[in-house]
Amino acid sequence: MSGRLWYPQLDIYDAVRRIAGLMLFWQSAAMPSQERLYIADFYLANPPLLHKTHMAADVRKEFNTLGVQRPEKTFLSYPSAPLLFQKMEAVQRQALQTLTGKGLIEVAALARGVVTPSEAGTALFEDQFSPLFDSDERRLGQFIANSFAQGEDIDALRRSTGLRRIAR
């Protein structure tokens, strides 16, 4: 019997789930840009790689309480973060396009470069997507959205992660 490994990083359905969850978890008044959301999604899909990022001491302390395993102690071997981030690009874009096409993301806000759920999106994300996150993944998503990926300067997030995506 042969088996296949499932990689959530490359699964459109899981990307839709993760992005919807991040939209729920984002508590800041300022919703994220597409690039900030993609970086947050990258680390929600690949939490062990958070160990290889630069964080302020208080953010690192909060991260350490989550108990995320280091990449070298996991079953998977991870490629470099920038390489995997680029490999995930098509899946992330398709997931965001799907959510937008279904009317779950505000098109006007997206045109301004900000990803904001629509009223219908907020209701659907709370009702249908929220239960898809277990408590550990919910805590991780809340940490990523509200502590790790926060800040006004996208360049600082790029420097701390080594990730960058050119807007198209």
Q: Dump pLDDT digits (tens) for 118-157.
A: 999 999 999 999 999 999 999 999 999 999 998 778 999 9
C-alpha to C-alpha distance for 158 and 136, rounded to whole angstroms: 26
Q: What would the DSSP string read from start to end of the chain? A: -------GGG-HHHHHHHHHHHHHH--SSSPPBHHHHHHHHHHHH-GGGGGGS---HHHHHHHHTT-PPPGGGSSSPP--HHHHHHHHHHHHHHHHHHHHHTT-B-HHHHHTTB--B-HHHHHHIIIIIGGGS-HHHHHHHHHIIIIIS-SS-HHHHHHHH-------
The pLDDT tens digits of the residues spanning 75-130 come to 778 889 999 999 999 999 999 999 999 999 999 999 998 999 999 999 999 999 99
The pLDDT value recorded for residue 4 is: 57
Give the model's confidence band at 166: pLDDT under 50 very low, under 70 low, under 90 confident, else very high.
confident
